[in-house]
Amino acid sequence: MSMETKKEKDPAMNVEATQTHLFSRQPPSVLGRIAFWAFLVGGLGGLGGAIALTIFSGSPSQDIVITTVVGLASAGILATRFRWAPLVTTLLGGYNLYLVFTEPYVVESLVHPKTDPQGGFGHFVGVVIISAVAIIAFGGSIGAAVQNYRQGSRQAPRWLPSALSLVAGLVIGAIFIGAIAQESLATGTTYTNGVPTVHMGAGSFLQPSVTIPKGSKLTLVDDVAALHILANGSWQNGVPKTTNEPDAPRVNNVQVKGGSAEIGPFSAAGTYHIYCEVHQGMNLEIIVQ
Ligand SMILES: [Cu+2]
């Protein structure tokens, strides 16, 4: 079927893809525009987050910088309206989605909506919205790419309102479930196979202090795939201080990433301190009785 006969049949299809060479520009399609705005909003959100992280903790995380660059670059690529633009942003958007859902701070916030130490419920709401924006950017890119390489209408597809309602429903549902979730930070001592256990999130111990019996070891579990490097000592006023407390078992650059580590045994009663060299303020007090 030629373009000519198709146009005669339906003159209203004025947003049809009509040119095919590599750098020919397409009139903007609805899906392309949705993907453009989602990437732009995600990129600007990432930029804001990167600036906030730099102000509050000294440097942005590598993941948020990549997310920002991918978002803004994808918006720029879509703005060229080249036919292949949504094809490229489908790949970039897919990578971005992968990063968002494997980033330890994001995973921790989704698992612990309220008690995540990096900002609690407000952070959770932000994470849910950024995730939704990333899904819309990816989905819009796929749809726009398919429409650009298929003969026919490039107007809004019939499933678009349902798809957007689904994403909106997921966002509202996630925020509602997060809001009613009952959680409290662990304060007592929990045990794994009889060994006292403390969990670690993306950038902190999930409890500031633990009490264990004399002669016991301590298991440290990394709940998400964040790298922690543990040593004797503590952060004081933003500065890591290594200490050699008498009777403390040596903890010397113990690396944990998504698994667990065992330290001890603690053979003498007393109060000991370990900290993470990677994360500012990540301290644990160990009281041995
Ligand atoms: Cu750490």
121 C-alpha vs ligand 1 centroid, how far in Å? 21
- Is domain 190-288 given the CATH code 3.30.450.20 in the classification? no
Q: Give, in order, the Cα–Cα distances in Å from 140 to each of 74, 133, 145, 150, 262.
A: 12, 10, 8, 15, 47
**What pLDDT was estimated at residue 186?**
58
User: What integer pLDDT is reported at residue 184 of this predicted model?
Assistant: 62
Q: Are 178 and 110 in contact (CB under 8 A)?
A: no
Tell whether the model's pLDDT for residue 7 goes beyond 50.
no
The Cα–Cα gap between 100 and 110 comes to 11
Q: How far is the CA of 65 from the centre of ligand 1 (A)?
A: 20
In sequence order, what are the residues at sequence separation of 6 or more whose Cβ sits closer than 8 angstroms to the Cβ of residue 115?
183, 184, 185, 206
- The total of other beta-carbon atoms located within 10 Å of residue 206's CB is 18
Low-confidence winner among 17-21, 169-173, 178-182, 277-281 (lowest mean pLDDT): 17-21
- Give pLDDT tens digits for 171-215: 999 999 888 877 665 567 888 888 999 999 888 898 899 999 999
- pLDDT for residue 2 is more than 50: no
Distance 272 CA to ligand 1 centre (A): 18
CA of 180 to the centre of ligand 1 (A): 29
Number of H helices, E strands in the chain: 7, 10
Q: How remote is the CA of residue 51 from the centroid of ligand 1, in Å?
A: 21
Q: What is the DSSP letter of 248?
A: P
Over residues 136-164, mean pLDDT: 89
Query: What are the tens digits of pLDDT across the range 36-63?
Result: 999 999 999 999 988 988 887 777 888 8
pLDDT digits (tens, 9 = 90+) for 89-116: 999 999 999 998 888 888 888 878 877 6
Percent of residues, the chain, with pLDDT higher than 90:
54
Q: How far is ligand 1, taken at its centre, from the CA of residue 223, in Å? A: 11
Phi, psi angle pair for 221, to nearest 5°: -110, 125
Q: State how beta strands 227-236 and 239-242 pair.
A: antiparallel
Which has the higher per-residue pLDDT, 35 or 10? 35
CA of 287 to the centre of ligand 1 (A): 20
Q: What is the largest CA-CA distance in the chain?
A: 90
pTM (2 d.p.): 0.74
Q: Please list, in sequence order, all residues whose beta carbon lies within 8 angstroms of the beta carbon of residue 36, skipping any fewer than 6 positions away.
A: 75, 78, 79, 140
Compute the distance from residue 105 Cα to the ligand 1 centre, in Å: 12
User: Given a cut of 50, is residue 4 above it in pLDDT?
Assistant: no
Locate the domains of the chain by residue range.
Answer: 10-180, 190-288
Q: What is the mean pLDDT of residues 135-147?
A: 94
Chain segment 211-266, per-residue pLDDT in tens: 999 999 999 999 888 899 999 999 998 899 998 898 999 999 999 998 999 998 99
Q: Tell me the HSE value of 246 on the side-chain side, using a 13 A CA sphere.
A: 1
